[in-house]
């Protein structure tokens, strides 16, 4: 099957995440999109993140009723930082018949060369890239140059056409902490969970 991998902290998951996943599924003809909550994101060590169990449960609630979406908890018990290359390696070993696509925002590409083993990531998955405000479009040639690759053919990138949706998890956490509304920004079940569990209070 053609599987989209959508990793992130999802702290909390919001409608922008879901719209991106659905656009990627449709435009790349994916059979499934697997949401992979990061257990210990290496780029967010400077701030505490919400318990993995809360973030995973909010994802389960958000995806309920969409049979093409599922949560994969592969990073939950892995020791050390949650590196994308390790996750893709594990998924390829566990599901050798699948073709994988990594869903991310264009704002990740300028720093992609700093990720652990970025060339190996490209060997294991096609990048499905959504636009971000203030971020230039990156072609396979741009990405190959940033990775010092002589052959842009090693870089598989497919842009995902979608509108700019300026919802940020950081803003949602602040709104929840202040007791402000999350209506129309997160799925209703996630809004209720955050309020009843006092996740960000």
The answer to whether 121 and 115 have CB atoms below 8 angstroms apart is yes
**In total, how many domains does the chain have?**
1
Say if 193 falls within a structural domain: no
Choose between 201 and 19: higher pLDDT.
Answer: 19
Average pLDDT, the chain: 93
Structural domain contains residue 174? no
Query: Any idea what the CATH number is for the domain that residue 53 is in?
Result: 3.40.50.620
Whether residue 77 is contained in a domain is answered as yes
The answer as to whether 10 is a domain residue is yes
Query: In what side-by-side order are the strands of the sheet with 99-105?
Result: 69-71, 32-37, 2-8, 99-105, 125-130, 157-159
Q: What is the pLDDT of residues 83-103, one digit of tens each?
A: 999 999 999 999 999 999 999
List pLDDT tens digits, range 118-157. Answer: 999 999 999 999 988 878 777 888 899 999 998 888 899 9
The per-residue pLDDT for 134 is 79
Max CA-CA distance within the chain? 54
Nearest to 104 by CA among 186, 173, 33: 33
**Domain contains 187:** no
Q: What is the pLDDT of residue 175?
A: 97
Residue 115 placed within a domain: yes
Range of the domain at 61: 2-165
User: Would 188 be classed as within a structural domain?
Assistant: no
pTM of the full structure = 0.94
């Amino acid at each position: 099957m053609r599987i989209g991998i959508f990793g992130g902290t999802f702290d909390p998951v919001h409608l922008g995440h879901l719209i991106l996943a659905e656009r990627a599924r449709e435009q790349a003809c994916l059979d499934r999109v697997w949401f992979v909550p990061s257990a210990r994101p290496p780029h967010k060590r400077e701030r505490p993140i919400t318990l993995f169990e809360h973030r995973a449960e909010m994802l389960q609630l958000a995806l309920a009723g969409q049979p093409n979406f599922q949560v994969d908890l592969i990073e939950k018990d892995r020791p050390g930082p949650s590196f994308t290359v390790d996750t893709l390696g594990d998924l390829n070993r566990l599901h050798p018949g699948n073709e994988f696509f990594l869903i991310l925002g264009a704002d990740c590409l300028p720093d992609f060369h700093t990720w652990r083993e970025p060339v190996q990531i490209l060997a294991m998955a096609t990048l499905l890239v959504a636009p971000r405000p203030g971020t230039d479009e990156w072609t396979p040639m741009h990405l190959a140059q940033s990775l010092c690759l002589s052959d842009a053919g090693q870089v598989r990138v497919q842009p995902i056409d979608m509108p700019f949706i300026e919802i940020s998890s950081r803003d949602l956490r602040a709104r929840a902490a202040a007791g402000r509304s999350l209506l129309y920004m997160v799925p209703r079940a996630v809004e209720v969970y955050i309020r009843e569990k006092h996740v960000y209070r």
